Structure 1
């Protein structure tokens, strides 16, 4: 199966300059190609990857700076743009802004990027135009390299290898018949129908899994320590006082990037550990089919129709993003390939207002964030556990997902993605015979 391995690169001063230059060229090629596609669409015409690739080769004669980037990297940029336009449409693709874009570029040919092991802690990879670059061998590769992606995150450059580990997908779970519903929240990151609470309240702790719910009002899931959170606020205030384009502003932005890079790493580690525990102990994991992008959209509105409760909505959006709801879902799908677990998505409507004992729906039953007291039968339970049980009970109406579609059959499925009608969790009833 395909898996990812990420390592920190140790580039010298000249290689750092080359990396920054190549990243800038890739951003320019992306924006130019996107504008060309939009211009063609305005005229009612169409241009694809083959035509743009040929024009890029001709443009190198007029713009020699394009030849300073590896040809395969620029071709991969055009391929990625072509796939994005086919999937989402030309007008929904975003520009790559120099201020907000994370520099990255990919080498798709493994023959051009050989990897060698230098010792127990170090390795090196050959990158065209760069030469040999050392990286910290924090874990074994464990497979054959398929591609290499270089990116800048925080204050360091990293290389990510797409490898084929050669492991077959698990056809069946070791504990068949075991099921669990998972409710994602803003106080506790994940709660199971068995009463387990997964959260990371402090940066020194690993995945917390207890049968005792955290106290109501505790800042659960904080991936920054108190001192780091205070430093983040100081940097934000300092950023406001800087001028755009100044060296001082660049230093503050770099410090913020390093701090948020640690937060993202800790959150990804938490999601990976939680997904491992859930898929290891349960053959079926049921989650809500949440559209996180739509749920975290801004409520500002427009000048003609301004939004309401903008500050409250902004706080809720930040809480959802900090918990990493979508990251946990992706981690579950990835881990399920190795354990044979099945991930089921269900309709999330009224899961927090429905009683898991009598199935009565009443918003008044949710007394507080942590207490659920049914107004019909009097059933009392932790609100997150009650919601997780409702999610588990809706398994029959959900969609079975397997990440890459390779768990449906021992030989592997033909399609890598479910049809759109099924992916939304909808089920069409068969027509009655005439």
Structure 2
């Protein structure tokens, strides 16, 4: 056990210096609790009926589990216990990629991720990630208040933490289910999926700072971080890259929300509100998230078009022509 711990520590430090992992920390109670079994034989897994199977665990014996999908031919599996107290077994296998439309037309979709709307598509569709229901939110608030009054290390505090974990697990399960279904639909329906290249790790970093230099608007930033993580931005892109390898393209998100998709005019005041976008040059009115998704779907091709047509460069908007106010339409009886 001591040698294995030393090997694990050496691997963690090597991953840290390579830049692929974060600095190792102490394991927290109730998180990532589980173990991995390697060198699994085909005879170690038996199918009992159409819903249940059994797996052989060393020093434990045969353990039944509810089968959510067909068990693949895996060389290892991991048994974990989540914070809701549920035991799960996951078999390690490389899934087959999901084919696209296969029509050769090269259908492209742009995806703009947000807080109010989880994902806006260039087709005009608005997708929302489900969360806790009002009754569940009220129950979670009551449990958190009771947890704040519970004594540290008491059985009551342990019991309350388990109840909170079960409530939060429902939100996590719904988010994962929606991400899986959405990513599968995208991989089957479109040949090329373009998303924003967002540094989610930096965007959700805490703003509290240090004792010498405390941060500002810490509570507001914490609420924004929770909203970003609750919509599953990173999970959606990660599952898309796994299901549609080579068909996911990340686009620089700069000025996609301020640029008109019709005429290419960049105007900071064109976005009148969170959902309303009105171009002061051509008069186009659309949903702000859908307009940004259409710019993402183009892959900034509008920049090259405007450079050749009206001068300027690809980094700045052309200055040869100022935005013109559109003429209001004439009444129908004129």
Q: Is the 8 A contact 1:144 1:163 kept in 2?
A: yes
Change in CA separation of 1:113 and 1:295 when aligned onto 2, cut-off 3 Å: farther
How far did 1:101 drift?
3.0
Q: Is the 8 A contact 1:115 1:123 kept in 2?
A: yes
Residue 383 in structure 1 maps to residue 291 in structure 2? no
Match of 2:116 in 1: 187
Match of 1:293 in 2: 201
List 4+ stretches of structure 1 deviating above 6 A. Answer: none
- 1:186 is paired with a residue whose SS is coil
Q: Counterparts of 2:30 and 2:17 in 1: how far apart (Å)?
A: 24
Residue 107 in structure 1 maps to residue 107 in structure 2? no
- 1:120 is paired with a residue whose SS is coil
Match of 1:320 in 2: 228
Change in CA separation of 1:343 and 1:333 when aligned onto 2, cut-off 3 Å: same
Structure 1: where are the runs of 5+ without partners? 1-28, 30-54, 58-73, 200-220, 398-434
Q: Is the 8 A contact 1:344 1:395 kept in 2?
A: no
Match of 1:343 in 2: 248
- TM-score, normalised via structure 2 length: 0.82
Q: Counterparts of 1:103 and 1:272 in 2: how far apart (Å)?
A: 24
Change in CA separation of 1:130 and 1:79 when aligned onto 2, cut-off 3 Å: farther
Residue 95 in structure 1 maps to residue 42 in structure 2? no
Match of 1:282 in 2: 190
Match of 2:266 in 1: 361
1:304 to 198, 205, 212: 212
Structure 2: where are the runs of 5+ without partners? 303-334
Residue 163 in structure 1 maps to residue 163 in structure 2? no
Q: Counterparts of 2:99 and 2:10 in 1: how far apart (Å)?
A: 33
1:123 to 41, 48, 53: 53
Output the aligned Cα RMSD.
2.6
- TM-score, normalised via structure 1 length: 0.64
Q: Is the 8 A contact 1:183 1:192 kept in 2?
A: yes
How far did 1:225 drift?
1.1
Q: Is the 8 A contact 2:186 2:193 kept in 1?
A: yes
Residue 174 in structure 1 maps to residue 110 in structure 2? no
How far did 1:293 drift?
1.0
Q: Is the 8 A contact 2:56 2:63 kept in 1?
A: yes
Match of 1:146 in 2: 75
How far did 1:222 drift?
3.8
Q: Is the 8 A contact 1:113 1:128 kept in 2?
A: no
Q: Is the 8 A contact 1:112 1:126 kept in 2?
A: no
- 2:150 is paired with a residue whose SS is coil
How far did 1:173 drift?
4.4
Q: Is the 8 A contact 1:112 1:128 kept in 2?
A: no
Q: Counterparts of 1:78 and 1:124 in 2: how far apart (Å)?
A: 33
Q: Deviations over 1:197-224 (max 9, x none)?
A: 122xxxxxxxxxxxxxxxxxxxxx3421
